[in-house]
Amino acid sequence: MSSTLRTALCLLALGTVVESAPALAQDSIPGSQWLSINNRLNGQRFSPLKQITPANVAKLGKVCRLQIDGPTTYEAGLVVVNGVLYTDTGRETVAIDAKTCALRWRYTYVPDEARSSPSNRGLAVMDGRVFRGTGDARLLALDAATGKLLWKDVIGSPELGESTSGVPLAWNGVVYVGIAGSEAGVRGRVVAIDAQTGRELWRFNTIPLGNEVGADTWKRAQTAKTGGGGVWGALSLDVTTGELFVPVGNPWPDIDKDYRPGTNLFTDSMVILDARTGALKWWYQVTAHDWQDLDLVAAPVLYRDSVRDVLAFAGKDGYITALDRDTHQLIFHTPVTTIGEEHEAATPQGVLTCPGYAGGVEWNGPTLDPLNHTLVTGSVDACFDVKLGTTKYSAGTVNFGGSVSTAGPITGWVVAVDSETGKIRWRYHAEKPVIAGVTPTAGGVTFTGDLAGNLLVFDSKTGQLLRKVQTGGSLAGGVVTYAVGSRQYVAFASGNVSRTAFGTLGLPSVVIMALNGK
């Protein structure tokens, strides 16, 4: 081993980002990139970077800001590959310089069909290509260097209310993505697409029919055709076992559960598939016969504790749930927001539910901090008045089978729980919901943000709030950290105009910060 390489490796072991070691490529420095929506395919958002610490975080300042779209939803994550940051809104996809915010390229998608969802929660980058879904149920492949469209695949029907608002997961030459649209009475599914050609390899229906496993849980079989079960968030994958972990959304109609008797698999379930074939391996349903819109939407976290392999996830029920992956038994089920009184069903007069609907944990779920042995998540603290109404199916039209309205103040939480026992270690009550990504680091700080427009920086061990920076726009998407040269950066999505923006709105923008910024 050369002395130069030996020195570089020693510096890396001490947490120093090396800029001038000729034997090390930039992308080989641990933590220098943020290669997928949750950093790792296993859902762990932890970063090994150490330059920003509790001792110096006061020096964190803005490096640059770039507006990427007009007034619209901005709930997407960020991906950083070789010094280029990629992100998207419903119609725009951009590549920007991860140091300066300089625009490298922009691709504007014009929908093929009139019915198109405005939401998008992120993209994937693999082998020089960018993959993203569209509001009219297409999957696109773009050249990562130029933004040129390489192929476009129709994977759903907007006429039925289907869209591709979730985050693709790219692995081993395959792109995995879900079909969303539960509120319109779609039949959810996950598809695997060849990354080079756009050809479908397999599909798994999250609402079973006929002889499919779980079909007997729809006691009125015809209701399964419009049963919901949309997949509208992110997925996780274990590369060692080839297992794909799919969080599945609510049944349709949302409120009128008598319309669809039965436990309604695989709604509100974590579904585990063979990533190579799409075969069902096992599942865990959190809420059977749901009428409170208790989606699972965020990517789960896969990790190994002292004695077992763990699957941990959170949903709009307001809990972090952990399962033993071998026995499928519950390890813990810890509330991370206000949980209200239980009711059997909605009534025409209305019942109060907490959280449900736009509450609980949304599309950015728990993260693992392996240094402090904690799972950390943001959440929405909200209650809703739910009234039973009339269910009427009309293709592509949203119908809840009732009505929903907010009841009382809407705030948020950041909660850290012990990753083995589920015991709460610390928590922070935010003035507005916390639905942005949560990112702990080896430097001992954890980053996230709230819908009031605040970037929040915590001491990872104690939960002490170290910084609160007003960014001028709701934080509803990714919060990531990476290194270019010898400098650690923090980048995040700021500005979100949507039905879940209960605070500051702002225009969709990427903000990049670093120590000794402006």
Percent of the chain with pLDDT over 70: 94
Tens-digit pLDDT profile for residues 184-197: 999 999 999 999 99
CA distance 318 to 142: 37
Residues 3-10 have a mean pLDDT of 40
Q: Facing residues of 301 across strands? A: 312
Q: Looking at 45-59, 75-89, 265-279, 488-502, which range is the least confident one?
A: 488-502
Tens-digit pLDDT profile for residues 399-424: 999 999 999 999 999 999 999 999 99
- Residue 207 belongs to a domain: yes
Tens-digit pLDDT profile for residues 450-506: 999 999 999 999 999 999 999 999 999 999 999 999 999 999 999 999 876 677 789
Specify the pLDDT at position 116. Answer: 82
Specify the pLDDT at position 501. Answer: 67
Tens-digit pLDDT profile for residues 280-322: 999 999 999 999 999 999 999 999 998 899 999 999 999 999 9
Percent of the chain with pLDDT over 90: 91
- Residue 204 belongs to a domain: yes
For the cut 80, the answer to whether the pLDDT of residue 166 exceeds it is yes
- Residue 189 belongs to a domain: yes
Contact 90, 73 (CB under 8 A): yes
Report which of 374, 389, 273 is spatially closest to residue 332, judged by C-alpha positions: 374
- Residue 44 belongs to a domain: no
Specify the pLDDT at position 10. Answer: 40
Query: b/e per residue, 14-29, with b = 16+ CB within 10 A?
Result: ebebbeebeebeeeeb
CA distance 473 to 517: 19
Report which of 46, 123, 75 is spatially closest to residue 435, judged by C-alpha positions: 75
- Residue 48 belongs to a domain: no
State the pLDDT confidence band at 346, using cuts at 50, 70 and 90: very high
- Residue 50 belongs to a domain: no
For the cut 80, the answer to whether the pLDDT of residue 274 exceeds it is yes
For the cut 80, the answer to whether the pLDDT of residue 62 exceeds it is yes
Specify the pLDDT at position 28. Answer: 53
CA 176 vs CA 74, 142, 363, 367: distances in Å: 22, 16, 17, 21
Tens-digit pLDDT profile for residues 124-164: 999 999 999 999 999 999 999 999 999 999 999 999 999 99
Specify the pLDDT at position 200. Answer: 98
Specify the pLDDT at position 12. Answer: 37
For the cut 90, the answer to whether the pLDDT of residue 11 exceeds it is no
Number of domains in the chain: 1
Specify the pLDDT at position 22. Answer: 30
Residues 244-263 have a mean pLDDT of 98
CA distance 480 to 478: 6
Specify the pLDDT at position 507. Answer: 96
The boundaries of the domain holding residue 422 are: 60-515
For the cut 60, the answer to whether the pLDDT of residue 515 exceeds it is yes
- Residue 25 belongs to a domain: no
**For position 111, which CATH number holds?**
2.140.10.10
Sheet (strand 402-406) strand order: 351-353, 384-388, 402-406
CA distance 470 to 391: 43
For the cut 60, the answer to whether the pLDDT of residue 339 exceeds it is yes
Specify the pLDDT at position 218. Answer: 98
Specify the pLDDT at position 8. Answer: 41
- Count of positions (residues) in the chain: 518
- Residue 314 belongs to a domain: yes
Q: Label residue 460 left, alpha or beta by phi (over 0 means left) and psi (-120 to 50 means alpha).
A: alpha
